[in-house]
Amino acid sequence: MLTTIFYILSAITLATAFMTVLSRNPIHSAIYLVICFFSIAGHYAMFNAQFLAMVHLIVYSGAIMILMLFTIMMMNFNEQKIRKNNLIVVAAVIALCLVAYVLLATFLKAQPMIEQYVITGEDYQSIKVLGKVLLDDYLVPFEMAAVLLLTSMIGAVLLSKKDKKIKA
């Protein structure tokens, strides 16, 4: 049962990720990416990581995708120039194969380190426990994340503001 759900979700994740990369229209890419993010949230829900599943839905499928779609709609790509260099495609495919090879080799080599998985039965990922961990052990990084978000907000506003005419 769980295995079937896992395979279906993984198929959706990989297929939509590929379609994100391959589809010509950036808006289609964005919509495929939303589906991809939803399926990843499904993976999180399967791990019973409720907090992360919700945050993932809110942050990625909500905020980030809206931001991307707005940006795409602000720039109108009326003409899609197709002058793809064949060399780039070949190089990209070769790089993809090499990276996949290296990563798989690394992880397969690491396989013997993975022993049998044991369930201790203790609660470690409910929202209650996670909140305690976040605000006890990781309080300073948490506040730093707040400062980072504030800084990035100010930076985004400054960057996207129209340049004022410099008065002589």
Partner 1 sequence: MLQNILQEIGIENYIFLATALFCVGIFGVLYRRNAIVVFMSIEIMLNAVNLLLVAFSTYHQDAAGQVFVFFSMAVAAAEVAIGLAILVAIYRNLKSIDIDDLRNLKG
Question: Which residues 119-158 are close enough to bind partner 1 by CB under 8 A?
Answer: 119-122, 124-125, 129-130, 133-134, 137-138, 141, 145, 148-149, 151-153, 155-157
CB of 168 to partner 1, least distance (A): 22
Choice between 162 and 165, CB closer to partner 1 = 162
Report residue 20: phi and psi, to 5°: -55, -45
Q: Which residues contact 168 (CB under 8 A, 6 or more apart)?
A: none
Choice between 81 and 164, CB closer to partner 1 = 81
Element (H, E) at 15: helix 2-22
| Cα–Cα distance measured from residue 139 to residue 124, given in angstroms and rounded to the nearest whole number | 18
Choice between 162 and 167, CB closer to partner 1 = 162
State the virtual CA torsion across 34, 40, 46, 50 in degrees, nearest 10.
-70
- If one asks whether residue 67 binds partner 1 (CB under 8 A), the answer comes out as yes
- If one asks whether residue 66 binds partner 1 (CB under 8 A), the answer comes out as no
Among 140, 159, 166, 168, binds partner 1 (CB under 8 A): 159
114: region left, alpha or beta (phi > 0 left; psi from -120 to 50 alpha): beta
Choice between 88 and 165, CB closer to partner 1 = 88
Q: What is the number of alpha carbons within 13 Å of residue 112 lying toward its C-beta? A: 1
- If one asks whether residue 57 binds partner 1 (CB under 8 A), the answer comes out as no
- If one asks whether residue 8 binds partner 1 (CB under 8 A), the answer comes out as no
